[in-house]
Structure 1
Amino acid sequence: MKEQTLKTHEGTVLIDQSCFNNCQLYEYHYINEEKNWTEAQQYCREKHTDLATVSNMTDMKRLLSNSAGNMTEAWIGLYDQTDVNRTWYWSLPGNELNNQQSNSGLCVMTVLDDEGRWMSEKCTVKKPYICYEDKVILIKENKTWENALNYCRDHYHDLVTITSLDEQRWIQEKAKKASTDYVWIGLHYACTLDLWFWVSDEVVSYNNWVSNGPVDDCDMSGAIEAREKYWWTKRNYLAEFNFICSKN
């Protein structure tokens, strides 16, 4: 891990520069073998995380860039639960697609062209499929910010960095499952330099601070609210919360 150090009020923090402009919170894997939707879901859950979830056009472009050039269609993780309110759901538990009405017993495939259109099909049809790999993990242990940082670096990669609205949405889905009201992220205040920084060395450009914003304080690190609004908030670095690690 390429690192530099930054002096803080409570000691020295190593900053990981190997992740700069490179890390993704999740990635897609195109599987060039034909299975029905249920078989594809099972494979993705065993080998990766789940069948692909697609939140926006950025996701769609990333998904299409990982597909094979000679294939035209592939399953993604969207389906209609038979006899359950005729509503589309993502394979990833807890995700619902805006209450769009459908015919029950159908699954969704994406057309692998420049437009990335979606089409419904009987779930028993065999198609190639696209899995996704989650690159972050919620640790349901209560630790101080520094101990959380060390845990992530010992067992995974680092405390998580959030650089965009897409990443914020991904992380808050993780935070919802926390057992504490706040969850540590890789954001810290450097008293000597009078600045907030990410331990991954990313610039704090995108932000989601609570409305009154961060107040500069030498004993503070950044956490995300695990209930309701999911704002970022400053908390004393000795407080003990769940935390989110990146796996990259």
Structure 2
Amino acid sequence: MLLSMGKKGRSELMCLLFTMAVLCLEAKIHKTVYISSKKLTWDEARKHCQENYIDMVTLDVVNPELLNELLEEEDELLKEFSEEKDDIKFWIGLHEDPEQSLGSLISGKTGIGSTEDDDNDSESWRPTLQSSGGCGSYNSRNKKLEIELCKEELPFICFGDNLILVDEKKTWEDALNHCRKKITASSKSDLLSITNPSDYYYVTDRIYRATTEEVWTGLRFLGGEWWWSDGETLDHQETLPGCPSQWQHCGTLSKNNKGFWITRDCSERRSFICYYEKVA
């Protein structure tokens, strides 16, 4: 895991960068967590995250164990919040479901998903839910999720990444050219290649604001094989047709269909998703 850190003014935005690589494999998606000491209500904190980053952090972006690790490594940051070492709570992107009397937690990012069914949440992480309408916080001392009144003012945790959702309708090749226009001497950009299967569901959540049901990815059928636009082959060729129809040679992801890749006519116009990263 790669960590880096920076500070901004008195409110101290701590930036913790980590890659979702397995062992030392190259990863396309890099997520960044921002811990703010500024105290806001849950709604104000979420607005701040959406205006300056992507959104509030949720446990599908940073799993409980990693969030724990990041905060523990920032012990000096925690001391700044409370010299008396009181409990330090941070808003995260979960709130109680007002439709249920026992208030199961749902994601503030997409409005779906209960922690009761989340494989990332062990029993020790789950808060006791007794009323509806509360908002989720993470207690850095007892390392548990807790429910607070949403009007309380707490520090909070946002996240960002290196993906760009482009909500313009373009053909696959025009989308590719759009992404690659951002290439410079120190960075590269391309249509997104999802080479790590664990990133698939993150990306489907990430495209939920697209105005088209499906978005173009870097997947393309060439020379009898499926390739990513950055030159990597698709690991599981059997998941896509070995002889696609004449025009359905380009791959999309759907916001709602949980099947993996969908093949479409490359001349259709859709939104698309790029990624960018620094190069040596």
Q: TM-score, normalised by structure 2?
A: 0.63
Q: For the residues of structure 1 that align with 2:238 and 2:75, how far apart are their CA atoms?
A: 38
| RMSD of aligned Cα (Å) | 3.4
Deviation of 1:79 after TM superposition, in Å, equals: 1.5
Q: For the residues of structure 2 that align with 1:182 and 1:215, how far apart are their CA atoms?
A: 22
**Aligned residues of 2:226 and 2:237 also touching (Cα < 8 A):** no
- 2:226 is matched with 196
Give the gaps of 5 or more residues in structure 2. Answer: 1-24, 79-87, 118-128, 184-188
Give the alignment partner of residue 161 of structure 1, picking from 193, 197, 201.
193
Query: Aligned runs of 1:116-195 on 2, under 5 Å?
Result: 116-154=143-181, 157-175=189-207, 177-180=209-212, 182-191=214-223, 194-195=224-225
Give the alignment partner of residue 238 of structure 1, picking from 253, 267, 276.
267
CA distance 1:207–1:133, shift in 2 (3 Å)? farther
Q: For the residues of structure 2 that align with 1:225 and 1:44, how far apart are their CA atoms?
A: 25
Q: How many positions carry a matched residue from both structures?
A: 221
- 1:37 is matched with 42
- 1:111 is matched with 139
Report Cα offsets for 1:160-208 as digits up to 9, x if no partner: 12233442112223455545454210112331xx432222455533689
Q: For the residues of structure 1 that align with 2:255 and 2:108, how far apart are their CA atoms?
A: 23
Q: For the residues of structure 1 that align with 2:89 and 2:236, how far apart are their CA atoms?
A: 35
Report Cα offsets for 1:15-54 as digits up to 9, x if no partner: xxxxx71432543211233334333223212221221111
- 1:59 is matched with 63
Identity of aligned residues (%): 25
CA distance 1:64–1:154, shift in 2 (3 Å)? farther
Deviation of 1:87 after TM superposition, in Å, equals: 4.2
Deviation of 1:92 after TM superposition, in Å, equals: 1.6
Give the gaps of 5 or more residues in structure 1. Answer: 1-19
Q: For the residues of structure 2 that align with 1:103 and 1:135, how far apart are their CA atoms?
A: 37
- 1:9 is matched with none
Q: Which amino acid aligns with 1:107?
A: C
Q: For the residues of structure 1 that align with 2:238 and 2:143, how far apart are their CA atoms?
A: 30
Deviation of 1:155 after TM superposition, in Å, equals: 5.2
- 2:89 is matched with 73
Q: Which amino acid aligns with 2:134?
A: L
Deviation of 1:124 after TM superposition, in Å, equals: 3.8
